Structure 1
């Protein structure tokens, strides 16, 4: 993206902008500066679960890094995810936004196979970043509203995907 990290940061940390850009987002509520609840409808083939999602910001380093852990539940489907976003400053003053997610998905959505799930995930991620780029270019107002959770808030939100994957 052509903008600086400082210019982009508010867009990626404003739940209102995130809700507009996230494919399938029906609702997103900032419960506290570090906790978000959302309703996401994700369709993979004939399976279209609607997930109730709880997310918490576990790490935030302005304007470089944001780590979010989330768990979502839908009838006969669930997931746990850790997502990391890093904003890397480029020599020309622009920014590369690097995004990575590790997820543990279970339920009927998995029965469609890894290839279908990966294809849909890639399409949704591309759409999200395209919509975010459009919001930034349109100059829509954005306000950074997220901060890292205090340690005591993380105790109730225990997702450690790296250990599970080992």
Structure 2
């Protein structure tokens, strides 16, 4: 089990940020290695992500389900990804915390079970790459927001039975 946590300070209010973090078109543009992202339903996303860790560069087909939304504060999802000789299962949570100066701190955490050749690189390498990708994601997201690009919140929480088909069993 790999666990990742972090925070990112942004100048905008969480109400201003929310549409950007819940618009799959914006997410696809900001997510490093994202080759494709499709909103299958308001709570289901499929994506193709190419992630390089050292000499291992798998291209994952990802299925994600939004498991919790509390506007404009919390977004949670579960995802499974498969690539040749690699796979992962994860849960991710993002919380937008309002600051007194009007800005927002984005607290995030992810827990992942990873298997395959990518694991041979070790958790230190995986964490290093993940931290670099997350930093790039927030930098790209900030640039999109500062451009004043239109964003539309399109994600909704899945009904309780929607995650039953997913094989995600990650313990806290």
TM-score calculated relative to the size of structure 2: 0.93
Residues 57-83 of structure 1 show CA distances to partners (whole Å, capped at 9, x for unaligned) of: 000000000001000000000000100
Q: Which runs of 5+ in 2 are unaligned?
A: 1-9
Does 2:95 match 1:80?
Answer: no
Map of 1:132 onto structure 2: 141
Q: Which runs of 5+ in 1 are unaligned?
A: none
> Per-residue deviation at 1:157?
2.0
Instruction: After TM superposition, list the pairs within 5 Å mapping 1:1-166 onto structure 2.
Output: 1-162=10-171
Structure possessing the higher relative contact order (Cα contacts under 8 Å, 6 or more residues apart): 2
In structure 1, C-alpha distance between the alignment counterparts of 2:171 and 2:30, rounded to whole Å: 28
Residues 22-71 of structure 1 show CA distances to partners (whole Å, capped at 9, x for unaligned) of: 00000000000000000000001110000000000000000000001000
SS at match of 2:171: helix
Structure 1 stretches of at least 4 aligned residues deviating more than 4 Å after TM superposition: none
In structure 1, C-alpha distance between the alignment counterparts of 2:90 and 2:139, rounded to whole Å: 22
In structure 2, C-alpha distance between the alignment counterparts of 1:71 and 1:113, rounded to whole Å: 20
SS at match of 1:120: helix
SS at match of 1:162: coil
Residues 111-146 of structure 1 show CA distances to partners (whole Å, capped at 9, x for unaligned) of: 011111111111001000110111111111100000
In structure 1, C-alpha distance between the alignment counterparts of 2:53 and 2:167, rounded to whole Å: 27
Aligned residues, how many? 163
SS at match of 2:156: coil
